[in-house]
Amino acid sequence: MAKVYDALQRAEAERKRRAEPDASVPAPAKLDWEPAAGAEGGAPAPARRTPFGGLWSLFRRRVVGEGAAELNKRRISLLQPDSFVAEQFRALRGRIDAIAEQHPIRTIAVTSANPGEGKTTAAINLAVVTSLSVGRRVLLIDCDLRRPKVHHSLGIQPKAGLAEVLNGETSVEAAIEKAEGMDLEVLAVRGRPANPSELLSSARMRELIHEVSQRYDRVILDTPAALGLPDAKAVSDLCDGSVMVVRANSTSEEDVLTVLEILDRRRVVGVVLNGTLADQGRYGYVS
């Protein structure tokens, strides 16, 4: 777990450094993968975190409109396959493959401590670069039944989705769509059920993950943020491993440690440090 703690220390050092304004240096432009919380009303006051202590902050967050630039960032590995960011996701893919040589890793849950830290972008781009491997079948599942983004990011209009599969309204074969322009299959979200947590922790969800793990070489699952909701824990417990996204200058050390305890740090196969290259005017993802 040395790499996890190295990423944690870098994120915390970056957060503290940026918290001290330097009047001689103009503030860099904000380049977020996803809408930042508190964008209209200022950042909420820091509070002590517990495993479900982020629930109130989730209700306070507001979703702002997304333009083409934000959507393109989520699929940068497809639009700019030779970019620095795409190479970082290839490096993450390689590390996961190396771990998989020791024990099978077919299903991977991608999460973060809080919304807006880049987990959906990480899930999509990891799925994209993994699907580029010759002869490898890859499935991306959107497990965020509250605020799904995968279908919008990839231009998919699903006729049915994860909720319909879990409710027994359709088969998984009928709900899976192929993303245009890539060899990637997607199980997106169409309907937003009233009981998302119960569906994600159901026996049918367990059966679904087992079923697709037999059909695909790698299954990437985009889960909700881990703090405040039980969804990420429910999904990650059914997977072979987890990847956690940490945003520099945003995710606190306490949040990271809490999520590692929630997910069981022994099952975390990678940490993505996001936002480290913003000062250079590039989108930063370091695996």
Domains located in the chain, CATH noted: 2-20+29-38+49-286 (3.40.50.300)
Give the C-alpha distances (Å, rounded to integers) separating 231 from 19, 24, 48, 210: 31, 44, 21, 18
Ramachandran area for residue 35 (φ above 0: left; ψ -120 to 50: alpha; else beta): beta
Cβ atoms 201, 234 nearer than 8 A: yes
Ramachandran area for residue 231 (φ above 0: left; ψ -120 to 50: alpha; else beta): alpha
pTM listed for this prediction: 0.72
CA distance 276 to 6: 14
Cβ neighbours of residue 247 closer than 8 Å, sequence gap 6 or more: 11, 112, 116, 117, 118, 274, 275
pLDDT reported for residue 8: 55
Token digits for 36? 């930042």
Shortest CA distance to 34 belongs to which of 91, 2, 73, 8? 73
Would you give per-residue pLDDT tens digits along the chain (287 residues)? 555 555 556 555 655 555 554 444 333 333 333 333 433 344 444 443 444 334 333 333 333 345 555 554 555 555 556 667 778 888 899 999 999 998 889 999 999 999 999 899 999 999 999 998 888 999 999 999 999 999 988 889 999 999 999 999 999 999 999 998 888 999 999 999 999 999 999 999 999 999 999 999 999 999 999 998 999 999 999 999 999 999 988 999 999 999 999 998 888 998 898 877 543 444 454 54
Question: C-alpha angle 48/51/54, rounded to 5°?
Answer: 60
pLDDT reported for residue 127: 95
